[in-house]
Every structure is written in C-alpha cells, then in structure tokens.
Amino acid sequence: MTTATPPAATPPAGRYGPERSRRSPALIAAIAVAVVVGLVVVTWLAIGAARDPVQWKDVGFVVHDAGSVEVTFEVTKASDATATCRVQALSQSYAEVGVVDVEVGPGARSQRVTTTVPTAELAVTGTVESCTV
C-alpha cells in the first residue's frame, strides 16, 4: 500500500487581492532616474529663487472709490539696497487703470509698504507688477 501526499492547496486566483508582479530592473532604474532628475530641477529652482536680488508678495488692497486704490505689499531685499516696485491697479477686464512706481529704500531686510495708486476708473484689484534693485 502506497500513500500519496495530497497536492498543496492553492487559493483561487485573486481571492486575496491581485497577484504581486515583480518589477523589472529597467523599471526600477527608470523610476530612480526620474526621482533624481526631479530633485535636481527642484534644487535648481530653489537656488534661482534665492539668488533673486528682490522678492515681493502682495498682502492686500482696498478700493476707496473710482479715483484710487490702496495697495499693501512686502518687499524682501538686501538691507542696504534700494528697490523700485511698479504697483498697478486693474479694472474688471484686467486693463491697467492706474500705475505708480514706489521706491523702497535701505532698512530692514523685509519691509511692508502701503501706497495709494490713483486710477482713471474703478479698479477691482491692486497688485505689484515687478520690483527691481
């Protein structure tokens, strides 16, 4: 009398989720290269932003009437540098209805500035277009 061992039971396909597939070495290498390239691009952009001699950020605006809008913004630059910022007022159709150049002199590295922009018609926003040292 011979006894045969029964075959090992295997669960039905897909019963415990999809079957795991092995990733090919080429796919792993492609993913690694993509991650390295992404890190290089992010680092390059961060270094470029840090090298800008002046940076600005809009803080807010108040439309007083059809003749003026008050714009508040922050300027970050070297404490001994002078920056000139072009502040503009825009209409509902994004047309420039007022513009003024504001000089931000030496002082603290970051300065909050509020200026009034005279407008030719009702503005719906005020913003800094650019700043240069």
CATH classification of the domain holding 119: 2.60.40
pLDDT tens readout for residues 49-65: 566 688 999 999 999 88
Is 45 within a domain? no
Is 113 within a domain? yes
Is 11 within a domain? no
Instruction: Determine the pLDDT at residue 7.
Output: 72
74: confidence class by pLDDT, cuts 50, 70, 90 = very high
- Range(s) of the domain holding residue 121: 54-132
Is 6 within a domain? no
Is 115 within a domain? yes
Average pLDDT of 4-29? 75
Is 30 within a domain? no
Domain count of the chain?
Answer: 1
Average pLDDT of 123-127? 92
Average pLDDT of 9-31? 76
Is 34 within a domain? no
Is 19 within a domain? no
Q: What pTM does this model have?
A: 0.60
In this predicted model, which residue has the larger pLDDT, 129 or 15?
Answer: 129
Which two three-digit tokens encode residue 79? 């404490």
